[in-house]
Amino acid sequence: DQQVKQNSPSLSVQEGRISILNCDYTNSMFDYFLWYKKYPAEGPTFLISISSIKDKNEDGRFTVFLNKSAKHLSLHIVPSQPGDSAVYFCAANGGSQGNLIFGKGTKLSVKP
Amino acid sequence: DVKVTQSSRYLVKRTGEKVFLECVQDMDHENMFWYRQDPGLGLRLIYFSYDVKMKEKGDIPEGYSVSREKKERFSLILESASTNQTSMYLCASSSSMIYGYTFGSGTRLTVV
Beta bridge partners of A62: A59, A77
Nearest chain A residue to B91, by CA: A43
CB spacing of A43 vs B104 below 8 angstroms: yes
Report yes or no: A9 at the B interface, CB cutoff 8 Å.
yes
Are A33 and A6 in contact, with CB atoms under 8 Å apart? Answer: no
Q: Does A82 touch chain B (CB under 8 A)?
A: no
- Chain B interface, mutation test: which of A25, A100, A107, most B Cβ atoms within 10 Å? A100
- Residue A100's nearest CA partner among B2, B90, B67 is B90
Tens digit of each residue's pLDDT (9 = 90 or more) over A41-59: 889 999 999 999 999 999 9
Q: Kindly determine whether residue B50 and residue A97, on different chains, have CB atoms separated by under 8 Å.
A: yes
In chain B, the largest separation of any two C-alpha atoms, in whole Å, equals 38
Contact A6 B48 (CB under 8 A): no
Task: Report residues of chain B scoring pLDDT below 50.
Answer: none
- Using a 10 angstrom Cβ sphere, with 0-12 exposed, 13-18 middle and 19 or more buried, the burial of residue B51 is exposed
pLDDT in tens, chain A (112 residues): 689 999 999 999 999 999 999 999 999 889 899 999 999 888 999 999 999 999 999 999 999 999 999 999 999 999 999 999 999 999 998 887 778 899 999 999 999 9
CA distance A59 to chain B (A): 16
Q: Residue A89: list chain B partners with CB under 8 A.
A: 42-43
Q: Are B9 and B69 in contact (CB under 8 A)?
A: no
- Angstrom distances, CA of residue B11 to CA of B21, B87, B107: 9, 10, 7
Q: What is the pLDDT of residues A63-76, one digit of tens each?
A: 999 999 999 999 99
